Amino acid sequence: MATRGLVAAWSCPRLVGPLIKPGGSRMSLSRLHTTGGSAAKDYYEVLVLGGGTGGIAMSARMKRKVGADNVAVVEPQENHYYQPIWTLVGAGAKPLAPSSRPTASVIPPGVQWIRSRVQNLDPDKNCVHLENNQKISYKYLIVGLGLQLHFEKIKGLPEGFNSPKIGSNYSVHTVEKTWKALQGFQEGNAIFTFPNTPVKCAGAPQKIMYLSEAYFRKTGKRPKANIIFNTSLGVIFGVKKYADALLEIIKSRNITVNYKRSLIEVRADRQEAVFENLDKPGETEVYRYEMLHVTPPMGPPAVLLNSPVADGAGWLDVNKETLQHRKYPNVFGIGDCTNLPTSKTAAAIAAQSGVLDKTLSSVMKGKTPSKKYDGYTSCPLVTNYNRAILAEFDYNAQPLETFPFDQSKERWTSFHMKANMMPSLYWYGLLKGYWGGPAPIRKLLHLGLK
């Protein structure tokens, strides 16, 4: 299939549905599955913790392996969010509402939804304890609990979001505040931050910066805007090929980048942001802002901290190639909660889901897992309202590109994939357990050139 054909297929839900699930039909939510802790059994062959991207994708795959009655998903939240689109929501390019769907609509039909929170894990006894003293046992456990945002670790937040000049694309509660702050900007400093912790979608903190700069140009405010990116990192991006391209954009658009700067306080009443100089611990710098976009510190879910399945930092401790737990062979992990040394993105989860599917198949058959995850992840770096750089790379921070052209160049096609294709692929491919990353497309396209 030609590249254009692939783009057309994935950009239209009416084409995607038949393509990935022949004979599929819509069902009313009442027929999808049972919900609520009272309806749950006390044992499942496969228990999935977390109803985010990884948890839903794996529950769909496990349903096909062991049957819906033998799979349960523990998830307390009523709504499921497609978070990658929030970059565009914060810039006014997309509405917020389509990023949300009821959790009941994404749980695979027949799979038990246990609407509760995990209180602790007891892998030595093959069980987890939930709220209301509920205990669920399992044969296989898949942990996809995501990560936690820690706005509260920045002094003055989250209460500072009551100010009209502060926003964050990382929360459903604050993403629209970014757009309001952008619209309300008149002149002065527009500051964008990157925290001194692991983050999900490490490119997102600067995507909104490029979009804001483009918005200021479009509205005639750019001459009075000073764009500042204060990052705790020592580089603009971890992969040199894409970093070089981004630095050229930063230079051409007269954006100021300050490295090794970590936001520690927001004084919303005075419109001041306080940063620590990480090269000189204890030394701080105060910036006045007219607009502030905050990327919060992040960390592992509280339930994993000090649990038997966590590493020393609190992340789920898994083999980086098979996603099987290092100590407990019937425990597996996927997504942001793991200690996999790659960027935490939905694209990474897609690739991980395909590998984890093979790993579980092997383990269930008593075989040693042989399929290996190479650390593939992707970050469409939106640089304008109609352009993006499509960064794809592996564990070694080496480009692992899908298409037979230089993806470090700003392209309309890359933006179209981000803005219009990927949401359909997410809802109708990844969450249904039919999308395990672009490796097959990569092979198909590159073979076609030989």
pLDDT one-digit tens code per residue, 232-275: 999 999 999 999 999 999 999 999 999 999 999 999 999 999 99
Whether 206 and 238 map to the same domain: the answer is yes
Q: Residue 449 has what pLDDT?
A: 44
The token pair at 210 is 């490029």
Instruction: Look at strands 166-167 and 377-384 and give their pairing.
Output: unpaired
Whether 223 and 318 map to the same domain: the answer is no
Q: Residue 216 has what pLDDT?
A: 98
Are 353 and 164 contacting, i.e. CB atoms less than 8 angstroms apart?
no
Number of domains in the chain: 2
Residue indicated by tokens 């044969």: 139
Distance, in Å, from the CA atom of 285 to the CA atom of 138, rounded to the nearest integer, reads 51
Are 348 and 336 contacting, i.e. CB atoms less than 8 angstroms apart?
no
How does pLDDT run across 104-134, given as a tens digit for each residue? 999 999 999 999 999 999 999 999 999 989 9
Whether 327 and 391 map to the same domain: the answer is yes
Helix (H) / strand (E) containing 18: helix 13-20
Whether 164 and 74 map to the same domain: the answer is no
End-to-end CA distance of the chain: 15
Predicted TM-score (pTM) of this structure: 0.91
Instruction: Single out the residue of 424, 431, 347 nearest to residue 7, CA to CA.
Output: 424
Whether 293 and 346 map to the same domain: the answer is no
Whether 171 and 207 map to the same domain: the answer is yes
Residue 258 has phi, psi (to 5 degrees) of -115, 115
CA 95 to chain centre: 18
From 235, 269, 298, the end of a domain falls on 298
| Residue-level pLDDT, tens digit, the chain, 450 residues | 333 333 333 333 333 333 333 333 333 443 345 444 446 799 999 999 999 999 999 999 999 999 999 999 999 999 999 999 999 999 999 999 999 999 999 999 999 999 999 999 999 999 999 998 999 999 999 999 999 999 999 999 999 999 999 999 999 999 999 999 999 999 999 999 999 999 999 999 999 999 999 999 999 999 999 999 999 999 999 999 999 999 999 999 999 999 999 999 999 999 999 999 999 999 999 999 999 999 999 999 999 999 999 999 999 999 999 999 999 999 999 999 999 999 999 999 999 999 999 999 999 999 999 999 999 999 999 999 999 999 999 999 999 999 989 999 999 999 999 999 999 999 999 999 999 998 888 777 655 444
Distance, in Å, from the CA atom of 74 to the CA atom of 79, rounded to the nearest integer, reads 13
Residue indicated by tokens 């500042």: 228
Whether 160 and 289 map to the same domain: the answer is yes
Q: Residue 440 has what pLDDT?
A: 80
Residue 52 has phi, psi (to 5 degrees) of -85, -160
Q: Residue 18 has what pLDDT?
A: 34
Whether 249 and 332 map to the same domain: the answer is no
Q: What's the domain range around 284?
A: 149-298
Count of beta carbons in the 10 Å neighbourhood of residue 155: 12
From 237, 269, 298, the end of a domain falls on 298
Q: Residue 430 has what pLDDT?
A: 98
Whether 203 and 265 map to the same domain: the answer is yes
Whether 281 and 160 map to the same domain: the answer is yes
Radius of gyration of the chain (CA): 22
Whether 131 and 46 map to the same domain: the answer is yes
Instruction: Single out the residue of 229, 234, 143, 220 nearest to residue 185, CA to CA.
Output: 220
Tell me, what CATH number does 186's domain have?
3.50.50.60
List active site positions.
Answer: 201, 379
Whether 232 and 319 map to the same domain: the answer is no
Distance, in Å, from the CA atom of 111 to the CA atom of 120, rounded to the nearest integer, reads 22
From 298, 317, 340, the end of a domain falls on 298
Distance, in Å, from the CA atom of 239 to the CA atom of 162, rounded to the nearest integer, reads 36
Cα–Cα distance list, 108 to 29, 51, 127 (Å): 11, 11, 22
